[in-house]
Amino acid sequence: MTEEHTHEVVDGTPEMDEPRIGVYICDCGVNIAATVDTKAVTEHASKLPYVVIAKNYKYMCSDPGQNLIKDDIKEYNLNRVVVASCTPRMHEPTFRAAVVEAGLNPCLFEMANIREHCSWIHKEMDSATVKAIKIVELSVARAPLLEPLTAAEVGVTRVGLVVGGGIAGVRAARDIADRGFPVHLVEREPYLGGRIIWLSKLFPLRKCEEDCVGDCAPCFVTPELKEAVNNPNIHVHVNSEVSDLDGYVGNFNVKIKENPLYVDKDRCTLCGECTKVCPVSVKNDNDYGMSERKAIYRPSEAAVPVTYVLDDVNCSYFTGGQCEGHPLCVDACKFGAINIDAKERTVEAEVGAIVVATGSDNYDASQKSELLPQHPRVMTAPEFERISSHLGPTKGELLVNGTKPEKVAFISCVGSREGTGNTYCSRVCCMYTAKEAHTVRKKLPDAKITVYYTDVRTFGKGHDEFYVKVLNEDVQYRQRELGHRLEVVENGPNVVVRAEGHDDFEADLVVLATGMVPRSDAAEVMRLFNISRSADGFYLEAHPKLRPIDTFTDGVFLAGCCQFPKDITDTMFQASGAAARACGILSSPKLSLGEAVAFADETCTGCGQCVETCQYSAISLEEKDGKVVAVVNDILCKACGTCIAACPSGSMQQKHYTDEQVLAMISAMGGSSV
């Protein structure tokens, strides 16, 4: 819209202007004209109130078609334009741009759909023409009530925020940074990488014959993580959380709570002297209690930033134990890397777009008592990953209670695809089970291996080929029905797997293929970022097919397993997509936020019904001239109009979809002008 025109409209008090409507009926080649008598529609339209000119043309959306409109706006001094053609979801932007070029406000354009909603779904020309006339009448009835509107525009803070430093968040942050935008990368753990650095190898193994060909998780992930730490555009906040967020697209204000690591990563040389003197030993959660670690420790050789960290929950300096007043590690560190007095701090930042990549939790197998999850010979797949990883507690040797298993059973769909509870498929378990069966075969060539499965889902690139290969490695796959009874029972030191329809299988190792579940604090994070969750508890995308990365909050995007279980390949797709979506915002000079916002008129009594109705917290009650009234924030309003229908006094209205405009169309419905 041009400055010149806006000025003209404001001065011309549009309400007082006599509407001068031009109506343009499109043939769309034969798409409309074959079923609708467009000449008759045009003839009829020319007689409708305020219509100055009505024309029929072969292709309205073509350049000559648009020029027809532009020329008429000038020649006939039109101040409203109605085009009857295809769906506005297709060409409304085209015609809006055309009227703007001719100096009209885009909101003075109205579109009637006589193709998708008429010519394409009817056969008889007579009745289709009658209907097309009615559709045009509705639009012509609305047109005089259209008002020139200007969308609110906001500037953009050209800084990104990525929440979650797993492989999804790291990918997203690197993509944003590589496009030249600074980005804050916030990770709760003291290291980047999330779950992936605790895995062994990643399916599908590209070359099964070799022991390690780059599919080993730490080997290929750690360099990725280091790239993020070394990127000058990425501000890495480990051991940190987003504690507060407000604002809106392009203009968020975020508070990041940084908990101290107590070790300066730039001074730490990884000599390990601190760990040697540390008197505190605790179970290592990352190894699911299969190993111990000290209170000052290196989380993993794969962890980045590459440094020791101090766990102040267990450190005896903080708990009042042996080190109280005199921390042994501080004395032991010859490089002065440990600052035991480090304090938590809050970083405040302004950001324009956000990628939420907070990941998922592992399904808690303790709910499956029939599978004996606490038995020493039964473990979950994430636990198996630890004993098969060369960085794990057994250095990659498959040992259960110190001995090598000889009979291994895998049970799929544990906590997935259930009638109640987690009804969804976790999408990775079939493939990691195949990979783990392969791992057992490679490490223990004589082991007996049985996989209990319900379906095998190998839909990814190279997946089915890998699965077939594993089938040929003397791995027995036994199918069972989802509803069928499957249990693990004790049998001396070992266990027996009992499955309906199959012989019992005695095993000295049972691996439960547990799926993914939403993070335990997903509800809290959801509220913090004003996003939604689907029935399964994962974060909800704006549209499952067309907008799978967006949330309903503009400027907030999803990546990785916080949205739904997915493998690393799909996670990387989504992370790069989320970064691209975020950069779309960060690179916009200004954001235009739509014109159709709600507003309360002077009859508002401040009852607050609308405030309660609004899903976007766009309405607040404020005092104005001594009375409390509803005030709509144009920038937060998404134009759904739900508050208007909820308003008991009729004082809530919506621009561009006013009650008067809708009522005029309804009147035209009832009128018998045909």
CB of 96 to another protein, least distance (A): 15
Helix, strand, coil percent content, the chain, rounded in steps of 5: 30, 25, 45
Distance CA 291, CA 198 (A): 13
Q: By CB under 8 A, is residue 671 in contact with another protein?
A: yes
Please give the size of the binding site for another protein, defined by CB under 8 A: 51
Query: Computed from CA positions of residues 228, 396, 263, 335, in that sequence, does the dihedral angle turn out positive or negative?
Result: negative
Instruction: List binders of another protein among 535-554 (CB under 8 A).
Output: 535, 542-543, 545-546, 552
Burial class (CB in 10 A: 0-12, 13-18, 19+), 399: middle
Q: How big is the CA angle at 388 (ends 466 and 508), to the nearest 5 degrees? A: 95
CB atoms within 10 A of CB 188: 19
Question: Interacting stretch for another protein, rule CB under 8 A, among 66-74, 112-120, 453-461, 479-487?
Answer: 112-120
Q: By CB under 8 A, is residue 50 in contact with another protein?
A: no
Find tokens 């693990």 and name the residue: 488
Question: Interacting stretch for another protein, rule CB under 8 A, among 116-124, 313-321, 448-456, 463-471?
Answer: 116-124
Strand partners, 241: 257
Instruction: For another protein, give the closer residue by CB, 31 or 157.
Output: 31
CB atoms within 10 A of CB 674: 10
Distance CA 202, CA 568 (A): 9
CB of 662 to another protein, least distance (A): 6
Q: What are phi and psi of 660, to 5 degrees?
A: -60, -40
Q: By CB under 8 A, is residue 566 in contact with another protein?
A: no
Of 518, 519, 527, 520, residue with least CA distance to 243? 527
Q: By CB under 8 A, is residue 642 in contact with another protein?
A: yes
Residue in 8, 43, 55, 88 binding another protein, rule: CB under 8 A? 88
Instruction: For another protein, give the closer residue by CB, 475 or 664.
Output: 664
Instruction: For another protein, give the closer residue by CB, 135 or 429.
Output: 135
CB of 67 to another protein, least distance (A): 27
Q: By CB under 8 A, is residue 83 in contact with another protein?
A: no
Instruction: For another protein, give the closer residue by CB, 61 or 130.
Output: 130
Under 8 Å between Cβ of 250 and 293? no
Q: By CB under 8 A, is residue 617 in contact with another protein?
A: no
Under 8 Å between Cβ of 427 and 455? no
Q: By CB under 8 A, is residue 533 in contact with another protein?
A: no
Question: Interacting stretch for another protein, rule CB under 8 A, among 193-201, 361-369, 534-542, 564-572?
Answer: 534-542
Antiparallel, parallel or unpaired: β 627-632 and 619-624: antiparallel
Q: By CB under 8 A, is residue 131 in contact with another protein?
A: yes
Question: Interacting stretch for another protein, rule CB under 8 A, among 38-46, 178-186, 489-497, 642-650?
Answer: 642-650
Distance CA 489, CA 498 (A): 8
Residue in 89, 267, 484, 627 binding another protein, rule: CB under 8 A? 89
Residue in 150, 251, 339, 534 binding another protein, rule: CB under 8 A? 534
Q: By CB under 8 A, is residue 125 in contact with another protein?
A: no
Q: By CB under 8 A, is residue 117 in contact with another protein?
A: yes
Residue in 128, 217, 236, 451 binding another protein, rule: CB under 8 A? 128
Find tokens 């809708």 and name the residue: 662
Residue in 17, 590, 663, 673 binding another protein, rule: CB under 8 A? 663
Strand partners, 653: 599
Of 302, 354, 270, residue with least CA distance to 192? 302
Q: By CB under 8 A, is residue 212 in contact with another protein?
A: no
Instruction: For another protein, give the closer residue by CB, 78 or 133.
Output: 133
Burial class (CB in 10 A: 0-12, 13-18, 19+), 345: exposed
Residue in 30, 121, 212, 213 binding another protein, rule: CB under 8 A? 121
Residue in 75, 124, 344, 364 binding another protein, rule: CB under 8 A? 124
Instruction: List binders of another protein among 597-616 (CB under 8 A).
Output: 613, 615
Enter the DSSP assignment of 21.
Answer: E
Question: Interacting stretch for another protein, rule CB under 8 A, among 17-25, 58-66, 379-387, 665-673?
Answer: 665-673
Q: By CB under 8 A, is residue 665 in contact with another protein?
A: yes
Question: Interacting stretch for another protein, rule CB under 8 A, among 21-29, 132-140, 198-206, 357-365?
Answer: 132-140
CB atoms within 10 A of CB 123: 8
Q: By CB under 8 A, is residue 120 in contact with another protein?
A: yes
Distance CA 558, CA 561 (A): 9
Q: By CB under 8 A, is residue 138 in contact with another protein?
A: yes
Q: By CB under 8 A, is residue 16 in contact with another protein?
A: no
Q: How far apart are the first and last CA of the chain?
A: 36
Distance CA 507, CA 159 (A): 54
Under 8 Å between Cβ of 571 and 560? yes
Query: What are the helix (H) ranges across 306-411?
Result: 316-319, 328-332, 381-388
CB atoms within 10 A of CB 358: 29
Instruction: For another protein, give the closer residue by CB, 344 or 660.
Output: 660
CB of 644 to another protein, least distance (A): 6
Q: By CB under 8 A, is residue 30 in contact with another protein?
A: no
H helices then E strands: how many in the chain? Answer: 18, 32
H or E element: which one contains 141? helix 125-142
Q: By CB under 8 A, is residue 641 in contact with another protein?
A: yes
DSSP-derived 3-state class of residue 429: helix
Antiparallel, parallel or unpaired: β 51-57 and 21-26: parallel
Instruction: For another protein, give the closer residue by CB, 53 or 596.
Output: 596
Under 8 Å between Cβ of 353 and 586? yes
Query: What are the helix (H) ranges across 36-87?
Result: 38-45, 63-75
Instruction: List binders of another protein among 503-532 (CB under 8 A).
Output: 532
Residue in 41, 203, 654, 655 binding another protein, rule: CB under 8 A? 654
Residue in 80, 134, 448, 457 binding another protein, rule: CB under 8 A? 134
CB of 45 to another protein, least distance (A): 15
Residue 642 corresponds to which tokens in the numbers above?
């739900």
Residue in 269, 346, 403, 667 binding another protein, rule: CB under 8 A? 667
Burial class (CB in 10 A: 0-12, 13-18, 19+), 230: exposed
CB of 526 to another protein, least distance (A): 12
Q: By CB under 8 A, is residue 62 in contact with another protein?
A: no
Binding site for another protein (CB under 8 A): 87-89, 113, 115-118, 120-124, 127-128, 130-131, 134-135, 138, 532, 534-535, 542-543, 545-546, 552, 596, 613, 615, 638-642, 644-646, 654, 657, 659, 662-663, 665-667, 669-672
